[in-house]
Structure formats: structure tokens, C-alpha cells
Amino acid sequence: MSLSISHRLVAHEIYRRIPHDGAMRLLDAVTDWDDTMIECAAGSHTDPEHPLRWLGRLAGVHAIEYAAQAVALHASLVSGDAPLRRAYVAAFRRVDLFAERLDTLGDAPLAVRAMLKAEQGGGAQYTFDVRCAAQTLTRGMMTVAIERGVP
């Protein structure tokens, strides 16, 4: 881990590290991270203009996108100064969804956590969970393919 990078980041620092634009920038802050985990906060689930809403509703399954952004950010942070070109979700396993909708949860922020379980070559496996207040919204495992280096 690079000691020059704070354990807390805000949105503009996050999105210099991962390639999301405009309204798809779902994470507001990194509240903590180290070589094996990342914790983020997000309030965008309350936005009536959220880009993943369909017919005015934000489905619970979209909590997985918050987790995927946290995983991509973690991969970037642990790579230090080495450029992270892309991180692709290769697979999800053992995903549990506990909330039908995210837009009905109120104003409490989402707490997004991802934990690195294994890393080899160009891939990594993470467990993740997304919570709002004391309620777990989703949890599961995600395998990502990671491309490092300059294009």
C-alpha cells in the first residue's frame, strides 16, 4: 500500500482512479481501506435521477454495482502508482439479495464493503456486502479480471 494515499477519499479522488462518469459515479467516499479491504459510503440511491432507475424505481439488485465500483477502486488503490487500465467483473457467486428496492430506504447512506480473499495474476476474488443502517441489502462473492499497465 502506498503511504502517500490517505485511508479516506472523497468522490473527486475516487473517480480519478476508476473510469466512471457523470451520474454513474455512485460512491461518495472511502471511509477506510487497507491491502485486504475497502469500505465506502454512498448516498446516490436517494437521487430521483439515478441512472439505474427504471420507471422511477431503483431495484435492490443495483446494490451490486456499488460493490463492483468499490472492488475496482480497491484494485486501483492496492496497485499504488502502477496504472490500472481496467477491472472487469468475471463472475458472481453466492449472491444474496435482501432488499427489493434501494430508493425506499430513506436518507441513510449505503455502507459498501469489499474484502479481498484471493489474488493471482490478472484476477482477484472478493466478498462484498452492502448495508443501509443495520439492514444487509446484498452480499456475495465477485471475481474480477484486472488489467494493469499503460494501454
Torsion angle of C-alpha atoms 13, 17, 18, 19, degrees rounded to 10: 90
Report the pLDDT averaged over residues 38-64. 95
pLDDT for the residue numbered 7: 73
Q: Kindly report the number of other CB atoms within 10 A of residue 109's CB atom.
A: 19
pLDDT, mean over the chain: 88
Cα–Cα distance between 135 and 104 in angstroms, integer? 13
Look at domain 9-148 and name its CATH class: alpha beta
Write out pLDDT tens, residues 81-101: 665 667 789 999 999 999 999
pLDDT for the residue numbered 82: 63
Report the pLDDT averaged over residues 107-123. 94
Q: Domain coordinates of the chain in residue numbers? A: 9-148
pLDDT at 15 over 70: no
pLDDT at 40 over 80: yes
pLDDT for the residue numbered 85: 67
Cα–Cα distance between 77 and 74 in angstroms, integer? 5
pLDDT for the residue numbered 51: 94
Cα–Cα distance between 131 and 126 in angstroms, integer? 16
